[in-house]
């Protein structure tokens, strides 16, 4: 628990510094009123089906830069937050926080254990999209883009999204936290072929 | 017993608990393309969704397996521990046979758990092909693919006389420059600028969609500024048409009457896609909610605009004969082949590093091609008839670089081939980067300074 809070604090400070000068007076109380800091539930395995279920629960919810807490009412409870401001207290994950939670990762970068985070648990995790792309951390590894399948990810230096399904024309359906104006949803994307993106896999799927 | 790894005891207990919950009489949702429920809570039982990659074009003697991925949605968060324990059947039909039901078997591989049915060889080898739809179940929840059911069944056709085109390994870096830049705008907020969404520290999005009419007039959807910029042929400055769009990486199609159709990929309630129709002055005429949860492109069909929708993987009419279609009608009329003028249809199917293309008419496959690449193939950006030929634009890639390749195909095989630089600094509608008009190919591109539309001569007459 001490480690968790410390990591969160460091992460929050990092984002606060990055966003210095951009934070406005706009704040919502979604996180304050709804979210918790409970310990995750350790599990002994992870399945692609199970992770898809975690991801689908977040669909239609909001987007919060550096966020990681959402409910399941199929709407953004804090629409119109200023972008790139981690202090607005709004609903939803950002792209890397979404991936961290769907992949049940640990706050400890050296651990590839499976931690199940409740959707109302506010947690982002230590990885940015760029770090996921590099395969940083024990749970993450880069793979060939042509090998990416359901619940693997395509990551660039500024964004990451998870493969939900492939399309007959060679594009992919991606489930992702796209941005404040978009929230979390499934869209057709062409990340697989784009040179801006690489493929990343969570290690340890049991099925 | 069914190929699945032996689940841990907690796994079994969770599945049993879920099944018990589903049987307790509490309402479950059947999604698979249906509207999302108004709201859910942790205590709501699971719903079911499914995806499927239909084997639209097969080769003689090729074994065909139908594979479905099922997703349990909602319910207690303990469901996140489990595989989705759906079951189901697929209903097959050939031209001369009655319908055959085959149970879907649960199995698993490195791609996860899935449901599968092997198509009997006598069915998959039928020269007329076969059609099918699937019904998946979990408790009281049902998912049907395609969502239009039997009326909109998937069709799989064997290509008995496909012309093979071997592209070999792609030579990156040999793209030729365009023949003409027909439109250009800087990023910014000025009268002739195009707006960037999301700023420069997130993925930039801008000039999300475009179209070109037969006169060469270029239309660019500047969704950040809620307008369409129009460049008449040879004009250096655009005119502006305000349109009330909300963004979301929209695609654009200009109808034969000058109507502007904008596909907003998540503009509606609960994130559903929308199509908005505007007249040439920007007055909004209609708004139609798209049936499926995801929509990737809008094009002109022979009877009005059509939208490619997922997870159905089907083209669905939005306003057949000018009348807005409801969700059930869209699904019922869904087809995997794109309808063309004159009753023809065009089917595209990428499998691995091979692309299969078929032009069909009322009597079956009229022309077909197998395009085999020595480099990895990503998405097909464009497939359009050009007289007796077909033009295809697809992306080839390797780790760290990519290019588009334009092909002109006829009865003998490959007529022309041209590499095109990706020019995709900003994100656009995913399958909206190319258009074919008046025998020329157009590309919507961007750099860090702005967006532009380039024209490429294909070297063939329409």
Beta-carbon count within 10 A of B323 CB? 12
What is the Cα–Cα distance from A100 to A104, expressed in whole angstroms?
6
Residues 6 or more apart whose CB falls under 8 angstroms from that of B139 comprise B18, B19, B21, B22, B23, B28, B45, B46
Ramachandran bin of B352, using left for φ above 0, alpha for ψ from -120 to 50, beta for the remaining angles: left
Query: Does position B21 have pLDDT exceeding 70, yes or no?
Result: no
Q: What percent of chain A has pLDDT over 70?
A: 87
B271, B346, B383, B394, best to mutate vs chain A, most A CBs in 10 Å: B271
Check the CA dihedral B281-B287-B290-B294 and report its sign.
Answer: positive
Ramachandran bin of A97, using left for φ above 0, alpha for ψ from -120 to 50, beta for the remaining angles: alpha
Do B69 and A50 count as a contact with CB atoms less than 8 A apart? no
A106 and A45 Cβ atoms separated by less than 8 Å: no
Domain residue ranges in chain A: 2-202
pLDDT at B30: 32
What is the Cα–Cα distance from B361 to B281, expressed in whole angstroms?
37
Integer CA distances (angstroms), A201 to A49, A128, B107, B111, in order: 15, 15, 21, 12
**Beta-strand (E) ranges in B352-412?**
354-361, 364-373, 376-386, 389-398, 401-410
Q: Looking at residue A171, what DSSP letter applies?
A: -
Query: Does position A50 have pLDDT exceeding 60, yes or no?
Result: yes
Of A83, A146, A194, the CB nearest to B424: A194
Beta-carbon count within 10 A of A136 CB? 17
Min Cα–Cα distance to chain A from B25, Å: 22
pLDDT at B247: 73
What is the Cα–Cα distance from A128 to A192, expressed in whole angstroms?
19
pLDDT at B362: 83
Check the CA dihedral B62-B63-B64-B69 and report its sign.
Answer: negative
pLDDT tens digits for range B280-302: 999 999 999 999 999 999 999 99
Where is pLDDT greater, at B441 or A19? Answer: B441
What is the Cα–Cα distance from B33 to B50, expressed in whole angstroms?
9
Query: Which class for B19: exposed (0-12), middle (13-18), buried (19 or more C-beta within 10 A)?
Result: middle
Closest to B307 measured CA to CA, from B272, B334, B342? B334
Of B51, B294, B350, the CB nearest to A187: B294
Q: Which domains does chain B have, with CATH numbers?
A: 9-158 (2.60.40.10), 166-457 (2.120.10)
What is the Cα–Cα distance from B49 to A55, expressed in whole angstroms?
13
Q: Count residue pairs from A and B with Cβ separation < 8 A.
A: 201
Q: Are strands B239-242 and B227-231 parallel, antiparallel or unpaired?
A: antiparallel
Token pair of B12 as six digits: 């079994």
Report chain B's mean pLDDT, rounded to a whole number: 87
Of B70, B113, B376, the CB nearest to A146: B376
Helix axes A48-58, A95-102, angle to 10 degrees: 140
B288 and B307 Cβ atoms separated by less than 8 Å: no
Q: Which residue of A has its CA nearest to B51?
A: A165
Query: Does position B133 have pLDDT exceeding 70, yes or no?
Result: yes
Window from A23-27, B83-87, B168-172, B450-454 with minimum mean pLDDT: A23-27
Cα A178–chain centre separation? 10
What is the Cα–Cα distance from B364 to B32, expressed in whole angstroms?
30
What pLDDT band is residue B81 in, cutting at 50, 70 and 90? low
Q: What is the interface pTM, i.e. ipTM, of the complex?
A: 0.89
Closest to B54 measured CA to CA, from B145, B160, B150, B140? B145
Do B111 and A150 count as a contact with CB atoms less than 8 A apart? yes
pLDDT tens digits for range A88-147: 899 999 999 999 999 999 999 999 999 999 999 999 999 999 999 999 999 999 999 999
Q: How many residues does chain A have?
A: 207
Choose which CATH entry (1.20.120, 3.30.70, 3.40.190, 3.90.1720) describes domain A2-202.
3.90.1720
pLDDT tens digits for range B54-67: 999 999 989 999 99
pLDDT at B199: 62
pLDDT at A206: 86
Q: Which residue of A has its CA nearest to B338?
A: A169
CB-based contact, A188 to chain B, within 8 Å = yes
Token pair of A154 as six digits: 């395509």
Which residues from B are below 8 Å from A169, CB to CB? 348, 350, 379-380, 431
Token pair of B388 as six digits: 């007796």
pLDDT tens digits for range B136-152: 999 889 999 999 999 99
Does the predicted TM-score (pTM) go above 0.95?
no
Do A190 and B379 count as a contact with CB atoms less than 8 A apart? yes
Window from A12-16, A64-68, B141-145, B246-250 with minimum mean pLDDT: A12-16
Do A165 and B310 count as a contact with CB atoms less than 8 A apart? yes
């Amino acid at each position: 628990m001490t480690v968790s809070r410390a990591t969160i604090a460091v992460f929050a400070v990092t984002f606060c510094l990055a966003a210095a000068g951009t934070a406005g007076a706009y704040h919502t109380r979604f996180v304050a009123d709804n979210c918790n800091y409970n310990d995750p539930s350790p599990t002994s395995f992870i399945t692609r089906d199970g992770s898809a279920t975690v991801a689908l629960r977040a669909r239609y919810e909001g987007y919060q830069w550096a966020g990681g807490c959402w409910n399941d009412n199929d709407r953004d409870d804090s629409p119109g937050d200023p972008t790139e401001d981690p202090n607005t207290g709004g609903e939803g994950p950002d792209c890397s926080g979404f991936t961290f939670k769907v992949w049940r990762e640990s706050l400890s970068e050296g651990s590839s254990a499976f931690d199940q985070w409740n959707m109302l648990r506010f947690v982002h995790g230590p990885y940015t999209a760029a770090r996921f792309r590099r395969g940083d951390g024990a749970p993450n590894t880069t793979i060939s883009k042509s090998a990416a399948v359901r619940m693997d990810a395509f990551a660039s230096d500024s964004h990451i999204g998870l493969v939900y399904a492939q399309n007959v024309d060679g594009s992919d359906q991606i489930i992702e936290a796209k941005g404040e104006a978009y929230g979390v949803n499934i869209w057709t994307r062409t990340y697989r072929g784009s040179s801006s993106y690489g493929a990343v896999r969570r290690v340890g799927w049991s099925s | 017993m069914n190929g699945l790894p032996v689940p841990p005891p907690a796994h079994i207990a969770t599945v049993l608990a879920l099944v018990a919950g589903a049987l307790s009489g509490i309402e479950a949702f059947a999604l698979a393309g249906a509207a999302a429920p108004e709201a859910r809570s942790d205590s709501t039982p699971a719903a079911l969704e499914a995806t499927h990659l239909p084997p639209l074009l097969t080769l003689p003697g090729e074994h065909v397996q139908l594979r479905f991925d099922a997703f349990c949605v909602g319910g207690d968060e303990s469901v996140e521990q489990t595989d989705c324990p759906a079951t189901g059947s697929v209903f097959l039909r050939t031209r001369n046979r009655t319908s055959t039901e085959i149970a879907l078997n649960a199995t698993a591989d490195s791609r996860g758990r899935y449901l599968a049915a092997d198509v009997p060889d006598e069915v998959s080898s039928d020269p007329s092909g076969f059609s099918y739809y699937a019904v998946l179940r979990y408790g009281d929840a049902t998912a049907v693919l395609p969502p239009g059911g039997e009326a909109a069944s998937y069709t799989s056709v064997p290509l008995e006389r496909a012309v093979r085109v071997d592209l070999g390994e792609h030579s990156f870096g040999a793209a030729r420059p365009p023949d003409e830049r027909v439109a250009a705008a800087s990023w910014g907020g000025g009268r002739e600028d195009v707006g960037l969404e999301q700023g420069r520290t997130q993925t930039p999005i801008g000039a999300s969609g475009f179209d070109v009419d037969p006169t060469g007039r270029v239309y660019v959807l500047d969704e950040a500024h809620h307008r369409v910029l129009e460049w008449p042929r040879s004009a250096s400055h655009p005119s502006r048409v305000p349109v009330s769009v909300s963004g979301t990486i929209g695609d654009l199609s200009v109808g034969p009457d000058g109507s502007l159709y904008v596909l907003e990929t998540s503009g509606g309630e609960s994130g559903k896609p929308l199509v908005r129709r505007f007249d040439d002055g920007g007055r909004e005429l209609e708004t139609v909610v798209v049936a499926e949860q995801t929509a990737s492109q809008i094009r002109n069909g022979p009877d009005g605009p059509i939208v490619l929708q997922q997870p159905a993987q089907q083209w669905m009419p939005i306003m057949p004969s000018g009348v807005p279609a409801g969700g059930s009608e869209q699904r019922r009329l869904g087809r995997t082949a794109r309808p063309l003028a004159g009753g023809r249809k065009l089917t595209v199917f990428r499998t691995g590093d091979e692309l299969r293309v078929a032009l069909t008419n009322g009597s079956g496959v009229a022309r077909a091609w197998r395009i085999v690449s020595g480099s990895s193939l990503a998405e097909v950006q464009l497939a359009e008839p050009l007289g007796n030929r077909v033009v295809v634009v697809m992306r080839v890639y390797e780790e760290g670089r990519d290019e588009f390749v334009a092909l002109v195909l006829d009865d003998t095989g490959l007529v022309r081939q041209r590499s095109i630089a990706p020019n995709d600094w900003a994100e656009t509608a995913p399958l909206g980067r190319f258009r074919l008009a008046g025998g020329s190919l157009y590309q919507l591109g961007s750099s860090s300074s702005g967006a532009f539309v380039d024209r490429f001569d294909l070297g063939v007459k329409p």
